[in-house]
């Protein structure tokens, strides 16, 4: 995706997509602006970023939902954020930001470092930084500490490990079904759980 920056808020873009849904997912941009009692130029920032996120396609003055856009508008708020998060991380700007946060020892960026990254775009720094922070917070990519003037990555909880089907190592005690007093080890020995006496091997018959 191109190196671009958001010129609208998540709320503005979502509102535009909700309106597009009421027009059955495809409409002339001019008519959408009329419905909002706005000039076309006023809805273009939200429309442009929706296109960057591949939620809509624009052709000959008409905007239409993509398949991803249809899924976005039909999703819960949580799932919408997940979709936006995935799409943001595909843009050059946010991909660069997340790489910088990952490589930072404390997983944070100062305002100065953030401005340096924004300087690679054509964005006015002050406007871009505020919108970038808004989108990153919406998608749960990072948070902003206003007191320290620092962008801080959100820690991701690793997925739980799948249970292993490997047999226990020799000597490890495992429970024996139907008994709460004895356990058996992987090597074949049995041990009393309440006492010091143990019997190993196979008991010889009398």
- Ordered by start, the domain boundaries in the chain are 10-77, 78-153
Mean pLDDT of the chain: 80
| CATH T-level fold of 10-77 | Arc Repressor Mutant, subunit A (1.10.10)
Give the integer Cα–Cα distance in Å for 128 and 113.
Answer: 14
Contact 193, 183 (CB under 8 A): yes
pLDDT, residue 171, reads: 58
Give the integer Cα–Cα distance in Å for 114 and 194.
Answer: 63
pLDDT tens, position by position, 37-54: 999 999 999 999 999 999
Residue 89 in tokens: 């991380």
Q: How many helices (H) and strands (E) does the chain have?
A: 8, 10
pLDDT tens, position by position, 60-94: 999 999 999 999 999 999 999 999 999 999 998 89
pTM for the full predicted model = 0.70
pLDDT, residue 77, reads: 95
Q: How confident is the model at residue 172 (pLDDT cuts 50, 70, 90)?
A: low
- Non-local (6+) Cβ contacts of 33 within 8 A are 39, 40, 42, 43
């Amino acid at each position: 995706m191109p190196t671009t920056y958001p010129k609208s808020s998540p709320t503005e873009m979502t509102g535009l997509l909700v309106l597009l849904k009421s027009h059955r997912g495809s409409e002339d941009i001019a008519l959408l602006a009329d419905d909002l009692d706005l000039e076309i130029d006023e809805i273009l920032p939200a429309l442009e970023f929706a296109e960057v996120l591949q939620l809509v396609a624009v052709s000959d003055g008409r905007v239409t939902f993509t398949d991803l856009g249809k899924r976005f508008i039909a999703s819960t708020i949580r799932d919408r954020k997940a979709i936006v998060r995935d799409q943001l991380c595909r843009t050059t700007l946010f991909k660069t930001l997340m790489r910088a946060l990952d490589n930072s020892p404390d997983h944070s960026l100062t305002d100065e470092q953030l401005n340096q990254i924004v300087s690679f775009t054509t964005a006015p720094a002050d406007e871009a930084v505020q919108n970038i922070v808004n989108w990153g917070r919406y998608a749960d990519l990072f948070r902003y500490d206003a007191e320290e003037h620092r962008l801080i990555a959100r820690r991701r909880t690793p997925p739980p490990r799948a249970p292993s089907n490997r047999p226990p190592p020799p000597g490890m005690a495992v429970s024996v079904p139907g008994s709460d007093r004895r356990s058996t080890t992987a090597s074949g020995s049995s041990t009393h759980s309440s006492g010091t006496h143990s019997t190993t091997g196979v008991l010889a018959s009398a």
